[in-house]
Amino acid sequence: MLDVQQQANTDTRNRWDSWSSLRKMHTEIWDKLSVSHKPLSGRALLLGAGNGNDVDIQKLESLFDEIVIVDIDPDALNCFMEKVKQPDKFKSMQLDLTGFANQVPDLKNMSEPEIIGLINTLKPNSELASLTGKFDFIMGCNYTTQLIGPKFMMHNQQSGSTYVVAVNQFTVKVLENIFYHLRNLLKDDGLLLHSTDTFEMHTNSATGYSSPATKPIMEATKGDLSKLSEIVPVFGSLAAQSLTISGSVMTTVMMIGLEFKRLFIIPWHFQRTATIERIYINFLTAFTKK
């Protein structure tokens, strides 16, 4: 699984400039939460921090006294640390959020039933358990859709197939284990900001391809993606059609002990070429402890 994450981080390593709008939106959300909840300060934890392209690192440094960044890819963490101005505030930790990454072999020559059999032997046991102390602020940096899907969804499986259902159910188990640890790591008055890419808008003018969620979202917003927060019922309809990205849906078990505070919906302009445009619709959900 490390190989998949390393390739993804390598592919996006040079996106600092093109992801500036995402960093700006994240900063605006932090500012809003500082007003509605309490000023962000103290000790922060970033999950799936990667190369650091999607957060304003200097803003982080100005807000927090200690910042722990976690990722399975040490090269990405090194890339993140190259961008910081105050390294004494940071602690970089290579952790496997699933707890079984080194138990997953190359799946290319395995059949779907064989992979389902493998899944049934894997036990989620996040290495977040090794962290000590509690945090004032925890942010998930769009990591939940990257943990299982990119490794296990290798083919164009049909939504609702036995294999896809098995992978999605396993993903939920992994995330429920992670959120168990997050609840324990969050201070009683702390804030958890769960950010995840939830829908994909993907078009290719050369092939004519358009991802299933693209047209409904564009029609509902009339092409103005600043209006995403106004079309929540549309997102509910798309979710009912199983058009969410695997790993993006929160379950009631994940939210045990957490109290919902706010939802932000923003566009992540992930990729744009002469023929391809890929935009992820990110849901950022703020929670406190109950």
Q: What residue segments make up the domains of the chain, in order of their start?
A: 2-200+246-289
Q: What is the mean pLDDT of residues 206-228?
A: 97
The model's pTM is 0.94
Tell me, what's the pLDDT at 234? 97
Instruction: Assign 108 a pLDDT band (cuts: 50, 70, 90).
Output: confident
Going by C-alpha positions, the residue among 1, 60, 66 that lies closest to residue 26 is: 60
Tell me, what's the pLDDT at 154? 67
Q: Go through the chain and tell me how many residues it has.
A: 290
Do strands 135-141 and 186-204 pair parallel, antiparallel, or not at all (unpaired)? parallel
By the 8 A CB rule, do 49 and 71 touch?
A: yes
Tell me, what's the pLDDT at 17? 86
Residue for token pair 């809003």: 32
278 Cβ neighbours under 8 A, 6+ residues apart: 200, 201, 202, 270, 271, 272
The fold adopted by the segment(s) 2-200+246-289 is Rossmann fold (3.40.50)
Please give the share of the chain, as a percent, with pLDDT higher than 90: 84
pLDDT for residue 159 is more than 60: no
By the 8 A CB rule, do 71 and 81 touch?
A: no
Tell me, what's the pLDDT at 160? 57
Q: Which amino acid is at 78?
A: N
What is residue 134's DSSP assignment?
-
Instruction: Assign 277 a pLDDT band (cuts: 50, 70, 90).
Output: very high
pLDDT for residue 6 is more than 80: yes
Q: Which amino acid is at 83?
A: K
- Token output for 37: 């909840």
Angstrom distance (rounded) from CA 244 to CA 124: 22
Tell me, what's the pLDDT at 16? 83
Tell me, what's the pLDDT at 84? 97
Q: Is the dihedral of CA 240, 241, 243, 245 positive or negative?
A: positive
